[in-house]
Amino acid sequence: MKVQPSRSPLRGKVRIPGDKSITIRALFLGLLLPVRVVGGSIGKDARSALSAVRILGARVQTGRQGLRIWPGASPTGESRIHAGNSGTTARFCLGWAAGGKEPVWVEGDKSLLSRKVGRLNEDIRHWGGQAGGTKGCFPAFACGPVQGPFRASIIPGSGTRKGALLLAAVRSGASISWKEDPLSRDHTERLFAAAGCWPRVEGSRSEPYWAEIPPDPSAFAVLATAAAMIPRSKIGGKVLTNLRRTGLLRFLGKAGITVKHNREEVWPELVGRVQVEHPGELPQGDLIVEGQDLMDMIDEVPLAAVFATTRRGTTRFRTGGLLRNKESDRLEGTADLITTLGGNALIEGEDLVVKGSPGSLKGGKVDTRADHRLVLAAAVAGIGSDEGVDLSENEWGGIAFPGWQEALEGVGVLFS
């Protein structure tokens, strides 16, 4: 499939699918209490999470109003989970296991098996549980129960590690606190607090907790970056506006793109209508993205780097190694993507440095490394290139953004 360059402004209001991260957390919440999940993601990672919670004992019923999930009997003996590509599912399974007595083994596809478990296994062991892996990578196992109060130092911040520990705490009844820097996404804390199971258990529920999943900001980021690539484009839609998930929008604003949003809902998540508009001319100048700003757009760095090729100036992303342990080595993959298409990107230590110049992306065919974020970044690069971009792994884009091709077509992007 080839993404054709856009010769005229992209315009439209888009409908974004439910957020993948919150969907997965809502599914795991169903192991603790009855939940109705409405508008959730239907992507591969969410399906892996649904399969996992079923194996771990959740009862699931489908209907017109989404999924109804409630706790069932926990399996006796060892459970084995195939988490597919989903690192969040894999780590949440380990967290769930750490809160109980039954061991759980977690494996996955090739991209997951190449990724490190991180410090979660150390946390579980220090908390009194058992955990291990294959040279620090998946497959991995955990078993509890963890006991007593635990203070975690989550540096750098990690929403999946924090969420897995919180799941272990709620299941076991142990107390958990943490410090993190920079701050990571806080969806687990928000969801569990709204459902009444953390920080204090508010009693049993006679009716399921209604988890209406907000539109995914990482999916909207694809459309927002597409608008930022083409002068006079304007794209809008309803989307999650949680501060920890909107770093890309703030970055585009600093680069001269007009970003407007109106807040509609506040609890448990911030949701609003966002409009992104290219003013026609962008200011020249260098930009540095680091620390909290980098963390708040951690999944969107490839998109931001592609956009950076279109502006006059150097953009430095100080990643601190955070892009190495993703579905691929995303730091190297992003730099290769840009240089293959004719742009100027290099790696200095753990920094990604993009030297922008309008019209620098010529087009061609790129290796997206079976990484959904790189697939979507390559598609956006094709929109702003001279000759378009050939995608050989376009199906991987649906992991992060189900229906991404149709959404881009809806604002004027052409495919062949």
List of domains in the chain: 2-18+214-410 (3.65.10.10), 20-212 (3.65.10.10)
Rounded CA gap, 92 and 100, in Å? 13
For residues 209 and 36, is the Cβ–Cβ distance under 8 A? yes
pLDDT of 296 over the 90 cut: yes
pLDDT of residue 206: 74
Rounded CA gap, 123 and 127, in Å? 6
pLDDT of 323 over the 80 cut: yes
What six digits make up the tokens of 183? 């701050």
pLDDT of 117 over the 90 cut: yes
pLDDT > 90 fraction of the chain, expressed in percent and rounded = 89
How confident is residue 114, by pLDDT bands cut at 50, 70 and 90?
Answer: confident
What six digits make up the tokens of 53? 């919670």
Q: What is the mean pLDDT of residues 275-304?
A: 97
pLDDT of 371 over the 80 cut: yes
399: left (phi over 0), alpha (psi -120 to 50) or beta: alpha
pLDDT of residue 81: 98
For residues 241 and 217, is the Cβ–Cβ distance under 8 A? yes
How confident is residue 111, by pLDDT bands cut at 50, 70 and 90?
Answer: confident
pLDDT of 61 over the 80 cut: yes
Using one digit for the tens of pLDDT, what is the confidence trace for 210-231?
A: 999 999 999 999 999 999 999 9
Residue 7 CB contacts under 8 Å (≥ 6 apart), including other chains: none
CA distances from 152 to 49, 99, 126, 149, 292 (A): 25, 16, 10, 10, 19
pLDDT of residue 199: 87
pLDDT of 348 over the 90 cut: yes
pLDDT of residue 233: 98
Using one digit for the tens of pLDDT, what is the confidence trace for 239-285?
A: 999 999 999 999 999 999 999 999 888 789 999 999 999 999 999 99
How confident is residue 157, by pLDDT bands cut at 50, 70 and 90?
Answer: very high
For residues 278 and 233, is the Cβ–Cβ distance under 8 A? yes
Spatial strand order of the sheet with 364-365 comes to 2-3, 389-390, 364-365
Alpha helices in 280-371 (DSSP H): 291-295, 301-308, 330-340
What torsion, rounded to 10 degrees, do the Cα atoms 356, 358, 360, 361 define? 100
pLDDT of 394 over the 90 cut: no
The DSSP 8-state label assigned to residue 221 in this structure reads H
Lowest-confidence region among 32-41, 101-110, 322-331: 322-331
End-to-end CA distance of the chain: 6
How confident is residue 195, by pLDDT bands cut at 50, 70 and 90?
Answer: very high
User: If we measure between CA atoms, which residue out of 96, 117, 99 comes closest to residue 108?
Assistant: 117
pLDDT of residue 18: 97
> How many helical (H) and strand (E) elements, i.e. helices and strands, does the chain have?
15, 21
Q: What is the mean pLDDT of residues 308-336?
A: 95
**Chain centre to alpha carbon of residue 335:** 20
pLDDT of residue 135: 85
pLDDT of 327 over the 90 cut: no
Rounded CA gap, 327 and 158, in Å? 15
What six digits make up the tokens of 179? 């410090």
